[in-house]
């Protein structure tokens, strides 16, 4: 059974480019992003890990710890990191898990046999400080992920974890949000001092 939203993200111990880790200890009380790529020394994966490294400050601002994983060996990861740094004009300093035994891939359902028997697909999990799965993404090998979108979702997840709101289609930080259905309209004005715009009883906007 694959992992679903709200499930507990499984813990594991792993060998990584940043040394041996216990996943939960590595995350501590932070948010986490665990994402798999199909294989080292491949073009799309090179751009994805490079982009992730470039966004280091953005992840840090949001208290998100990032880890990549593939079934490649540690020495391949180490050699490939030099290529990523050189070609993507960055420095990869988040851990890349060497999952040769496929333990992590198995726990997180990252191998989709009808896509590839051997490689992990492009899976991505956002994990909350409570170790619950907050978001899952699955992309095929041929399509690189949009890491601006990953940051945008993290912003939405963190906002909606703190306030009784939801974020509308194409929302970006700073824009109007939707008052959660759980908040009765008579309480909404008090809860959201910047005001509530009622379009329909079920569609109410506010600002945070
Ligand atoms: C890539 O990263 O470009 C890639 C990896 C595995 C299969 C196909 C493409």
Best mutation site among 37, 40, 41, 45 for ligand 1 pocket (most ligand atoms within 8 Å of CB): 45
Give the rounded distance of the alpha carbon of 28 from its chain centre. Answer: 16
For ligand 1, whether the C-beta of 95 sits within 6 Å is no
Cβ density class 143-156: b for 16+ within 10 Å, e for less: ebbebeebbbbbbb
Phi, psi of 54 (to 5 degrees): -60, -30
d(CA 12, CA 78): 21
- Tell me if residue 161 falls in helix, strand or coil: helix
d(CA 53, CA 195): 39
Work out the mean pLDDT of the chain and round it to a whole number.
98
Alpha helices in 94-145 (DSSP H): 103-107
Best mutation site among 36, 37, 41, 44 for ligand 1 pocket (most ligand atoms within 8 Å of CB): 44
User: Can you give the pLDDT at residue 1?
Assistant: 65
Domain that holds residue 187: 163-206
Residue at 188 is within a domain: yes
Same domain, 117 and 188: no
User: Can you give the pLDDT at residue 189?
Assistant: 92
User: Can you give the pLDDT at residue 8?
Assistant: 98
Phi, psi of 101 (to 5 degrees): -80, -10
d(CA 50, CA 69): 14
How far away, in angstroms, is 123 Cα from ligand 1 center?
13
- Tell me if residue 124 falls in helix, strand or coil: strand
How far away, in angstroms, is 187 Cα from ligand 1 center?
51
pLDDT digits 0-9 by tens, 157-195:
999 999 999 999 999 999 999 999 999 999 999 999 999
Same domain, 194 and 97: no
d(CA 185, CA 165): 13
**Percent of the chain residues topping a pLDDT of 70:** 100
Best mutation site among 36, 37, 38, 111 for ligand 1 pocket (most ligand atoms within 8 Å of CB): 38
Same domain, 126 and 200: no
Residue at 45 is within a domain: yes
Same domain, 21 and 104: yes
Residue 83 contacts residue 106 (beta carbons within 8 Å): no
Active site members: 45
Same domain, 13 and 107: yes
Q: If you take atom 7 of ligand 1, which residue's CA is the nearest one?
A: 141
Q: If you take atom 8 of ligand 1, which residue's CA is the nearest one?
A: 141
Q: Which letter does DSSP use for residue 180 in this model?
A: P
In the block, residue with structure tokens 């891939």: 105
d(CA 80, CA 83): 5
The minimum-distance atom of ligand 1 relative to the CA of 43 is 3
ipTM of this predicted complex? Answer: 0.95
pTM of the prediction?
0.98
For ligand 1, whether the C-beta of 141 sits within 6 Å is yes
Residue at 150 is within a domain: no
User: Can you give the pLDDT at residue 169?
Assistant: 98
In this prediction, residue 16 has a pLDDT band, given cuts at 50, 70 and 90, of very high
The total number of structural domains in the chain stands at 2
How far away, in angstroms, is 20 Cα from ligand 1 center?
27
Number of other CB atoms surrounding residue 135 within 10 Å: 16
Same domain, 98 and 177: no
């Amino acid at each position: 059974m694959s992992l679903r939203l709200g499930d507990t993200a499984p813990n594991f111990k792993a060998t990584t480019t940043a040394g041996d880790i216990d996943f939960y200890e590595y995350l501590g009380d932070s948010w986490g992003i665990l994402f798999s790529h199909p294989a080292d020394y491949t073009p799309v994966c090179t751009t994805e890990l490079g982009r992730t490294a470039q966004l280091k400050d953005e992840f840090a601002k949001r208290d998100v710890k990032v880890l990549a994983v593939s079934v490649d060996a540690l020495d391949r990861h180490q050699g490939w990191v030099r290529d990523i740094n050189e070609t993507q004009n960055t420095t990869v300093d988040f851990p890349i898990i060497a999952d040769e035994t496929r333990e992590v891939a198995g726990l997180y359902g990252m191998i989709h046999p009808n896509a590839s028997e051997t490689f992990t697909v492009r899976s991505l999990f956002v994990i909350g400080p409570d170790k619950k799965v907050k978001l899952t993404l699955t992309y095929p090998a041929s399509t690189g992920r949009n890491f601006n979108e990953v940051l945008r979702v993290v912003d939405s997840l963190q906002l909606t974890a703190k306030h009784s709101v939801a974020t509308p289609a194409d929302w970006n930080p700073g824009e109007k949000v939707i008052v959660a259905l759980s908040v009765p309209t008579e309480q909404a004005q008090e809860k959201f001092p910047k005001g509530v715009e009622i379009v329909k009883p079920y569609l109410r906007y506010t600002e945070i």
